[in-house]
Structure 1
Amino acid sequence: MLARMTDRTAPATKRRGRRADGPAPDRAALRATALAHLARFGTTRAGLEQVLARMVQRWARGAAEAGHPSDEIESQAATARALVADVVRDMADLGAVDDAAFAGSRARSLTRVGRSRRAVQAHLAARGVGEDVADAVLDDALGTRDGAGYETELAAALVFARKRRVGPFGPAGDHDDDGAFARRLRALEAMARAGFGRAVAEAALDMDPDEAEERIFRMKSI
């Protein structure tokens, strides 16, 4: 039994050893990893840089565990890290990674599930989308704040309210019982934490159920 377990683990150990004993990722290896990642996931230039940087870090850890000299590891890792920016730039030149396209797609999808414009901005910033790019994309994808953007924000707030079963989506007669005020206050607080302004939140909570459903339908149909 012990012999069989040893036989099963030996190939994996050997494979790990080959990775650690090999050189740091070169341009071809980084490019292959970038293409494989982009084939499965949408991301930004910053996001792709993080993926490739982690690849180099994993190699460095494996090399250290295999007993390679630290100065040699750092030298090879530095060379690999310098290649990361070149590979990311290549992917951008090919159109495989596009911050504006990523931001527009993500903004529309997040809005449709009830995320506020402020929450979308925070999400894009966390993914490495620059503020100027994000502002331009949000105006294009969701509308300007003082124009169509208000209608989009209101529809997103209605989606949020429907998920919470409040406002036009609350139980029948919800406005009439003694706890209605407290429930409304809790709903407003939740919407504020989600990034919706007071005026939008109140408009969503006060809307007729049929109109609310129609606004959500229109927003999701665009």
Structure 2
Amino acid sequence: MKRPARPITAKYLLNAATFYLERYPATAEGLRRVLGRRVRKAEMAEAPVMENVGQAIEAIVAKFIEAGAINDKEFAQTKARALHRRGTSSRLTRQKLKHAGVDGDTLDRAMAALDHELDTNPAEREWQAAVALARRRRLGPFRPDKDRKERRLRDLAAMARAGFAFDVAKKVIDAKSVDALDEE
């Protein structure tokens, strides 16, 4: 038997937001989306929804921002750092952060902070990320020599799907050895 949907009240939304933020880092926009989905789901189930639900969501988000539980700047910097370590291209990093609800200004500052932290420029950061992806996915010089030639196009395609420019991908995939990558 299907359980009846819970009514959407300010207390319910606050509890849902707290529950979510205890588990996942989020941006202000991300939390708005989560709470909005809860409301839409309740409306579809024909549960009672409080009046001015939009204002209640905004008040809850503001409360968490004020308390420091939501900080878009820190979220963007942490996420950019983690994606870089995993070998995510700058293009894809920007796309993922935008999708998470980070505004353009905060995004630009996070990418600049990443360059400052790594003591690199954007081109060097892109190179490091490309090498990290190749290492993690065992592409190009990280692949056994016997398979490299026949898998070259697949490796280039994997780098392209990850958002890397062709010239960067080609340099990484066609490197003679792992040691040659460090010399770049």
Residue aligning to 1:48: 31
Q: CA deviation at 1:139?
A: 1.3
Indicate how the Cα distance of structure 1 residues 153 and 123 shifts in structure 2: closer, same or farther if over 3 A, else same.
same
Q: CA deviation at 1:150?
A: 2.5
Query: Contact 1:108/1:142 (CA < 8 Å) preserved in 2?
Result: no
Question: Quick one: which amino acid aligns to residue 210 of structure 1?
Answer: D
SS of 1:196's partner is coil
Which whole-Å deviations, capped at 9, do the CAs of 1:38-96 have from their partners, x for residues lacking one?
1111011111001111222233334x27xxxxxxx5xx544122210111111111111
Q: Mind listing any 5+ residue stretches in structure 1 that lack a counterpart?
A: 1-8, 66-72, 216-222
Question: Quick one: which amino acid aligns to residue 201 of structure 1?
Answer: A
Residue aligning to 2:17: 34
Answering whether residue 160 of structure 2 is matched by residue 160 of structure 1, we say no
Separation in 2, partners of 1:167, 1:55: 45
Q: Mind listing any 5+ residue stretches in structure 2 that lack a counterpart?
A: none
Query: Contact 2:88/2:162 (CA < 8 Å) preserved in 1?
Result: yes
Residue aligning to 1:150: 123
Which whole-Å deviations, capped at 9, do the CAs of 1:171-193 have from their partners, x for residues lacking one?
13666xxxx2x643432233122
Question: Quick one: which amino acid aligns to residue 177 of structure 2?
Answer: D
Question: Quick one: which amino acid aligns to residue 88 of structure 1?
Answer: V
Indicate how the Cα distance of structure 1 residues 207 and 114 shifts in structure 2: closer, same or farther if over 3 A, else same.
farther
SS of 2:170's partner is helix
Question: Quick one: which amino acid aligns to residue 56 of structure 1?
Answer: V
Identical columns (%)? 32
TM-score by length of 1: 0.69
Q: CA RMSD in A?
A: 2.8
Answering whether residue 36 of structure 2 is matched by residue 25 of structure 1, we say no
Query: Contact 2:32/2:58 (CA < 8 Å) preserved in 1?
Result: yes
Q: CA deviation at 1:166?
A: 2.7
Indicate how the Cα distance of structure 1 residues 53 and 161 shifts in structure 2: closer, same or farther if over 3 A, else same.
same
Answering whether residue 108 of structure 2 is matched by residue 108 of structure 1, we say no
Separation in 2, partners of 1:185, 1:53: 43
Q: CA deviation at 1:130?
A: 0.9
Separation in 2, partners of 1:169, 1:143: 29
Answering whether residue 92 of structure 2 is matched by residue 119 of structure 1, we say yes
Separation in 2, partners of 1:119, 1:84: 30
Answering whether residue 43 of structure 2 is matched by residue 60 of structure 1, we say yes
Query: Contact 1:154/1:203 (CA < 8 Å) preserved in 2?
Result: no
SS of 2:26's partner is coil
TM-score by length of 2: 0.82
- Equivalenced residue count is 181
Q: CA deviation at 1:203?
A: 3.0
Separation in 1, partners of 2:112, 2:52: 40
